[in-house]
Amino acid sequence: MKSNTIIALIILFITLMSFQCRKEFPPDPEEYKFTINAKLNHLSETIRLGDTLSIEVSFPDIITAYNYLNQVRTEETNILRSASFSYTVMLVDSVARTVHYLSFAKPDYNIYDYFTVDLRFGTTQYSPWEIFLPNTVRPYKAILNLIPKVKGIFYFSIGANTSFNVNQNFKGKFIVHLPSDNHLDMVDRNIDNYQWREGVELNRGLGSETYAFRVN
């Protein structure tokens, strides 16, 4: 439990430092951002053991993006050169009142002990946490299926580490917007790290959104 607290504080420190660094340097006016609304097949707080939680991210045919000066740029997606996003999955330990990062590599808290991970249409190239959307056949979408093997409380975050490149090298980032009813109060009730919600809000400001669910 102590090691998990230290890890959580380190993650929070890195998040705070990255947020401060963003304030120290002026934003790039050439960096444009837009929002993609993810589609979830389950919106209730609870899903059943063995059910599939599907998260679909689909790149739009027309992009309406803004820079930090609120200048707008609209383009049709004639050629999708690349588009990717990253995600993480966490286990809420209601006994130890903490959270555990589910890893693809480490034996402890390995994601495959908790979920069958089924990625449709998209691909992973450099890291299993980073998903690249297909760019040869429309629709340009990826569907991440999480099929729980055990009961418990979990949450996933789709991170600020996103990028796109379309047409004649129009590059930028996109925010994957998750449902506003994200059930995060369920996590609040089951952990003692009261700074957790502050970290979620800071990450949201950086473009990362979080969604919690219970497996019964």
Relative orientation angle of helices 2-24 and 196-205, to the nearest 10 degrees: 30
Can you say how many angstroms the Cα of residue 196 is from the centroid of all Cα atoms in its chain? 16
Which of 17-31, 77-91, 147-161 shows the lowest mean pLDDT across its residues? 17-31
4 pLDDT higher than 70: no
pLDDT for position 75: 95
Within 8 A by CB and 6+ apart from 202, the residues are 15, 16, 19
Terminal C-alpha separation, the chain? 24
The residue with greater pLDDT, 7 or 35, is 35
pTM recorded for the entire structure = 0.84
Query: What are 128's two structure tokens?
Result: 């299993």
Which three-class secondary structure state does DSSP give residue 113? helix
Closest CA to 174 of 144, 131, 122: 131
In the chain, the amino acid numbered 141 is K
- Give the residue extent of every domain in the chain: 2-215
Between strands 115-120 and 170-177, the pairing is unpaired
Find out whether 167 and 77 touch, Cβ atoms under 8 Å: yes
Closest CA to 128 of 187, 181, 88: 88
pLDDT for position 22: 42
- The band of 46, judged by pLDDT with boundaries at 50, 70 and 90, is very high
- The band of 20, judged by pLDDT with boundaries at 50, 70 and 90, is very low
Give me the chain's average pLDDT, please. Answer: 88
Find out whether 70 and 32 touch, Cβ atoms under 8 Å: no
Find out whether 145 and 119 touch, Cβ atoms under 8 Å: yes
pLDDT for position 31: 87
Could you report the per-residue pLDDT of 53-96, keeping only the tens digit for each? 999 999 999 999 999 999 999 999 999 999 999 999 999 999 99
12 pLDDT higher than 90: no
Could you report the per-residue pLDDT of 101-124, keeping only the tens digit for each? 999 999 999 999 999 999 999 999
